């Protein structure tokens, strides 16, 4: 009986240990898209954001899966700021590549954005990456994908 109890104890201990071992630090990713003077696309958008040294965050429907503006909100109105949120594993490297694609590949022309910021928060991590900064409206169609040269 005592032996069984001891065995059970070790089994539980091993289970707890493996749970801890499997745990990867989780980060919160917040993406802010500051739109310019035109209305943005209404098609499904697929973001792909890659980190230096490998790893990426992506989804097949930005608004539906990561939208953080509440129900009934209309995204990408002119001159607005829309927030998106995603929780997932942290990466060691900062982000270096940003791509947004439409349902059938490319976006339709002329969506002006001021900038897109990606904030990463987690244990010991607090990063902000700004894409298309500079205070001017950028015609998104003619800019993507954005790669600052450090991504593979």
Binding site for ligand NAG (CB under 6 A): 34, 37, 48, 56, 58, 78-79, 114-115, 117, 130, 133
Query: Mind giving me the DSSP string for 31-50?
Result: EEEEE-SS----S--EEEEE
Q: Which is nearer to ligand NAG, 17 or 92 (CB)?
A: 92
- Supply the minimum distance, in Å, between the C-beta of residue 57 and ligand NAG: 7
Q: Which is nearer to ligand NAG, 11 or 136 (CB)?
A: 136
Q: Which is nearer to ligand NAG, 14 or 133 (CB)?
A: 133
- Supply the minimum distance, in Å, between the C-beta of residue 104 and ligand NAG: 16
Q: Is the dihedral of CA 79, 126, 30, 46 positive or negative?
A: positive
| Sequence-ordered list of residues with C-beta below 8 angstroms from that of 82, at least 6 positions apart, any chain | 32, 33, 35, 67, 69, 73, 75, 76
Q: Which is nearer to ligand NAG, 12 or 136 (CB)?
A: 136
Q: Which helix (H) or strand (E) holds 114?
A: strand 112-122
- Supply the minimum distance, in Å, between the C-beta of residue 133 and ligand NAG: 4
- Supply the minimum distance, in Å, between the C-beta of residue 19 and ligand NAG: 20
């Amino acid at each position: 009986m005592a032996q069984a109890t001891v065995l059970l104890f070790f089994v539980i201990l091993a289970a707890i240990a493996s749970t801890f071992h499997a745990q990867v630090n989780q980060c919160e990713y917040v993406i802010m898209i500051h739109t310019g003077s035109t209305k943005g696309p209404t098609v499904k958008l697929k973001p792909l954001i890659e980190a230096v040294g490998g790893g990426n965050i992506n989804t097949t429907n930005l608004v539906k899966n990561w939208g953080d503006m509440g129900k009934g909100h209309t995204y990408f109105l002119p001159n607005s700021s829309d927030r998106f949120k995603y929780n997932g594993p942290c990466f060691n490297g900062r982000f270096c590549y940003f791509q947004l694609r439409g349902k059938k590949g490319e976006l339709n022309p002329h969506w002006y954005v001021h900038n897109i910021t990606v904030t990463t928060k987690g244990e010991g991590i607090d990063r902000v990456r700004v894409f298309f900064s500079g205070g001017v409206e950028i015609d998104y169609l003619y800019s993507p994908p954005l790669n600052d040269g450090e991504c593979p």
